[in-house]
Each structure stands twice: as structure tokens, then as C-alpha cells.
Chain A
Amino acid sequence: EDQVTQSPEALRLQEGESSSLNCSYTVSGLRGLFWYRQDPGKGPEFLFTLYSAGEEKEKERLKATLTKKESFLHITAPKPEDSATYLCAVRTSYDKVIFGPGTSLSVIP
């Protein structure tokens, strides 16, 4: 069964304390992986798309990487405004899109 998991479920960081969020997947053929950011009371907002192992994308303090079984979202020197829930979604070879449950990130000043 296709499955996407994210860890940790929740993460608290001090401002400036770098860390990584994990998205692991067991799917029938990966055809793309998406990262989204979701603020409380809002819909998800697109961040990155990754297509193949070894690919990396960067945006401000965020960098997404992809291996054959997982993706990492690295947050460098986070600020309080980076607090949000981060979702990953995987496109399978059957053209389904499966979302992970998300990681709730809190950055404390």
C-alpha cells in the first residue's frame, strides 16, 4: 500500500537553531514530490517540487533534498515567521497524489 509518513510530528526550535524535517514514502514508483507550507486557518501553500534522487531546491532559509526513499526539508537559522505545518505529497506511478500528515514547526524567539 502506498504510504507517506512525516517525522517528527511536532518540532520546537529556538530562533537560529537549524534542523531538518523528514518525509518518507513507500509508493509504487515516485514521479514527483511536493513540499507545502500551511499556516493556521489557511490552505497549504506550495514550496518545492522534486523529481529525482539527488535533486535539491532552495528558497530563503529552506532547502529540500530527495533520495530514493525520503525527502528532507532543511531549515537553516529559522525565524519565528517560519512557524507553520509543513506537508509533503508524493505523486505515484499511478498518478495518485498522496499527502503526508505534516510536521508542525514552532520557532521560539
Chain B
Amino acid sequence: DAGITQSPRHKVTETGTPVTLRCHQTENHRYMYWYRQDPGHGLRLIHYSYGVKDTDKGEVSDGYSVSRSKTEDFLLTLESATSSQTSVYFCAISEIWAGNQPQHFGDGTRLSIL
């Protein structure tokens, strides 16, 4: 199994508070991704990174920011959480761009915003 650890695995917080989710990989893969998964929707890309300090927006990036200061760590921050951001968040990694090879996923963070 690909070495991907997401933390925390579960979090409950209140509207308006900042939240940071962490993804840690031990595979030394270049690409890292953050997705959210909601009922009735496929996985939707929030942000991705193609190297240290190199990030770009996905299709649902509003309200989210990311940072990658080391190859192994990719952080997702909700600056001021809203109830619409209640979701399950998945981190994924790949050696080359996701379209060219399958991604490996972490086990997710279940985030509830009250």
C-alpha cells in the first residue's frame, strides 16, 4: 500500500473557525492532490501540487488554500470554515500527472462543520 497518512481522521468544528488538514506521504511522489467527496458527486479536485511550493487550483478551490513546504507534506486550510465545507476530504499522490497514471489515495478525513 502507498504510504499516505491523513490527519486528523475525524474533526468537528464550528462555522468561522480555521481548519488545517494534513497529508503526509512516504513515496516521494511529485504530485499531491486534495479532493472532497460528497453524496451524489464524484470526487472533486480542490487543489493540487506538482512540486515543493508549486500548487494550482482545481474545480472547487473557493474557500480553500494549500501549502507544500516539503515533498512529503501537503496541507489544506479552510481559512473560515462554512457548513457547505462539511465533507470527506481525500489526499492522493502520483509520480506523474493523474491523467497519465492512477492515483493512490489516503483514507480520508471526515470533517463536520456545525
Contact = CB atoms under 8 A, between A and B. Distances in A.
Interface of A: 4, 31-32, 34, 36, 41-46, 49, 87, 89, 91-92, 95-102
B43 A44 contact: yes
A41 B6 CA distance: 12
The winner among A31, A43, A89 for most chain B CB atoms within 10 A is: A43
Nearest to B59: A96
Interface residues of B, number: 22
Contacts, number: 50
Contact of A101 (B40, B45, B90, B102): B40
Interface of B: 4, 35, 40-45, 90, 92, 97-108
B39 to A, nearest CB: 8
A46 B103 contact: yes
A95 B100 CA distance: 8
B103 A87 contact: no
